[in-house]
């Protein structure tokens, strides 16, 4: 027979919980599972951050209500912070560790607004012909708009050098640093970024059979650097992938903990495993043809309906029209 528990009784249990050990931490650190006891009886407490209130009053007061704002870094129009929820005038909130990670884009562009706005999604297949005729020229235009300034600032040593974990210089050089989406402390949600120094490789599309040795070398060096910096990790606890379409057109590799929950950025239609890319390059075309590469295959991925790739290229193609790009 089920026992009926009054709400007012249940509410007294939480303050009585006595913590003994952490059982788990997941959802990129947003949920923890604690083991302890209440009145000497064993208990498990799951703590998960609630959704943000979305009414106008709360949103209007949100930024001014944050406390303990600490800058993690700034580069071009991008800045990253840790902060605590609750008023800065609240002494209790001021003593709490940060529970929010903030990313600021200032000044932002219309492209940023479209990217971060809620929108419908579409799956598209980009053939080698569509890539060459429409997508490649689109990439060229975006690179010429100066949107890679923050990347070049890092590569050329002007910003974020204190964040660089590992670096190799030269024509095949690359560097490793924390991704802006990581809080720099939760190992189970570790997210690092490998940036190449060479500028002729814009995306996975530019990888060819002749690059296999370089990509393999970079993969091993990235893994070596990650486990050296974080000795609690082993190489088989990390996965490497690239995005297509990427956020910006300068080749980079994501290195994440295998326990990091796979959201949309690791989903089919966005992420391509680096080992799978290497394998595909190895099996493409004739063994002696070093120029064959990822530009010669079809890639299927998802796009937001507000993205320029959809509105300027794939939607017109779907409607039998000539794309703008």
**317/130 Cα distance (integer angstroms):** 9
**233/222 Cα distance (integer angstroms):** 13
CA angle 207, 212, 215 (to 5 degrees): 80
Mark whether 250 is an active-site residue: no
If 0-12 CB within 10 Å is exposed, 13-18 middle and 19+ buried, where does residue 28 land?
A: buried
- State the catalytic residue, choosing from 191, 250, 252, 257: 252
Tokens of 244: 């297509």
Q: In the sheet that 191-196 helps form, which strands lie side by side, from edge to edge? A: 166-168, 174-178, 191-196, 252-257, 238-243, 271-273
- What percent of the residues of the chain are helix, what percent strand, and what percent coil, each to the nearest 5? 35, 30, 35
Tokens of 274: 């680096």
Tokens of 81: 């912070």
Q: How many other C-beta atoms lie within 10 A of the C-beta of residue 294? A: 22
User: Which residues are designated catalytic?
Assistant: 252
């Amino acid at each position: 027979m089920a026992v009926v528990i009054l709400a007012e009784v249940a509410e007294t249990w939480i303050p009585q919980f006595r913590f003994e050990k952490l059982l788990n931490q997941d959802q990129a650190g947003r949920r923890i599972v604690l083991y302890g006891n209440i009145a000497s009886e064993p208990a498990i407490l799951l703590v998960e951050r609630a959704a943000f209130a979305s009414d106008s009053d709360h949103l209007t007061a949100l930024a001014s209500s944050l406390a303990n704002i600490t800058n993690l870094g700034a580069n071009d129009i991008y800045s990253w912070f840790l902060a605590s929820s609750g008023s800065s005038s609240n002494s209790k909130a001021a003593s709490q560790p940060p529970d929010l990670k903030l990313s600021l884009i200032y000044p932002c562009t219309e492209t940023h607004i479209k990217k971060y706005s809620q929108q419908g999604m579409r799956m598209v297949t980009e053939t080698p012909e569509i890539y060459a005729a429409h997508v490649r020229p689109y990439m060229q235009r975006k690179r010429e708009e100066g949107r890679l300034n923050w990347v070049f600032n890092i590569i050329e040593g002007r910003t974020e050098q204190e964040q660089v974990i590992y670096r190799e210089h030269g024509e095949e050089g690359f560097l490793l640093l924390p991704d802006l989406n990581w809080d720099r402390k939760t190992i189970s949600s570790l997210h690092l970024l490998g940036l190449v120094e060479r500028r002729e490789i814009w995306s996975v599309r530019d990888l060819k059979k002749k690059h296999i040795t370089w990509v393999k070398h970079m993969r091993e060096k990235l893994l070596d650097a990650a486990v050296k910096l974080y000795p609690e990790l082993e190489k088989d606890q990390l996965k490497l992938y690239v995005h297509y379409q990427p956020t910006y057109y300068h080749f980079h590799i994501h290195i994440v903990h295998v326990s990091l929950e796979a959201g949309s950025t690791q989903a089919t239609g966005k992420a391509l495993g680096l080992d799978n890319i290497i394998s595909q390059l190895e099996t493409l075309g004739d063994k002696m043809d070093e120029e064959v590469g990822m530009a010669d295959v079809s890639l299927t991925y998802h796009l937001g309906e507000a993205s320029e790739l959809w509105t300027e290229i794939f939607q017109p193609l779907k409607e039998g029209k000539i794309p703008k790009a």
